[in-house]
Amino acid sequence: MRRALRLAEQAIGLSEPNPRVGCVLVSSNGEVLGEGHTQAAGQAHAEVMALRDASLRGHAVRGATAFVTLEPCAHHGRTPPCCEALSAAGVARVVVATGDTNPRVKGAGVAHLRAQGIRVDEGLLEAQAQALNIGFLHRMRTGRPWVRLKWASSLDARTALPDGQSQWITGPEARQDNMVWRRRAAVLLTGIGTVLADDPRLDVRDPPSPYPPARWVLDRRLRMPCRAQMLRTKGDVVIVHQGSADVERRRALQEAGARCLEAPSDLAALLDELGRREVNELHIEAGATLNGAWLGAHLVDELLVYLAPRLLGPGRGVADLPTLPSLDAAQGWRWLDTVPVGADLRLRLTRSF
């Protein structure tokens, strides 16, 4: 199963909006017969790739065990059901890391396999499998993407000096690590304030992604410069603006390569729209105002914080939040992990309910 999870990781940035799945077929004496991971949407899933691999190696899989990181699908979507492919191939046992929360699957894949007389074991390395597909599983349950908010700050929670200087508070290793998290997301989101201050590319590089995430900019009055770096790098750029925004500005930005979208009523409605667009993970990199808005609306599921061993003194903070009436009213977060990254420290937290 650990090998299947490593295979599933190879589907990051490839399989969206489908989940990242790995499959390893093993004989009764422990020989690996075939293996594979989910391909791009509309192409083969992990189980079919593993069956194809076994065939190319000249191996029969009848009586084999399949280790799969997610419950095999049981519905006809862009491809036929994987549970039927496994049963037709004659596997004797399927070990599933975690169930699928997709209402069209949700136990149906396991039920089909058992109805065919195939032994099914569930829950092996379940936590790791769920973490790999946290966005997909969350969207299937809630209709919204998993929201990850990232910032890099000093020990005294400053993201920049008072004049806006911020490059670089953290070291190159932290910036490289953040690319790993950007790659997981279907959409990278920022605000127009960050664009005007930093002119970021907000892309995935080193190595570049073959299917780069879309960049969404919250820009109510269409202040995005037509020569912004974002518009000159590979990948879609969507500018979310007010309906009353200037028509000529909108036309100019569209000619520069942007797509323009009239803003939903609030951030919750924006999440609903992203869910309808089958976005599994939303990665936010913004300034204190927008960070505060997302956090204040209780819409952030995970914090990704890079903490530099520096003290900056006066400067720009991480999030503009309202004054609390008491300490008991503070938002609660739970540690996921703390990992040294170069000279910095990466902190990951999720909401406490």
Q: Which residues pair with 65 in a beta bridge?
A: 26, 93
Is-contact 69 132, C-beta < 8 A? yes
- In angstroms, the CA 173 to CA 341 distance is 6
Token reading at 269: 């409605």
Q: Which of 65, 67, 66, 146 is nearest to 101 (CA)?
A: 146
| 47 counts as catalytic | yes
Convert 23-40 to b/e letters by CB count within 10 Å (16 or more is b).
bbbbeeeeebbbbbbbbe
Catalytic-labelled residue, pool 16, 47, 84, 302: 47
For the chain, helix, strand, coil in percent to 5 are: 30, 25, 45
Can you tell me which residue has the tokens 């991480």? 318
Helix locations, the chain, DSSP H:
2-9, 46-56, 82-89, 108-115, 126-132, 134-142, 172-184, 192-198, 247-255, 267-276, 288-296
Angle between helices 46-56 and 82-89 (to 10 degrees): 30
Provide the annotated active-site residues: 47
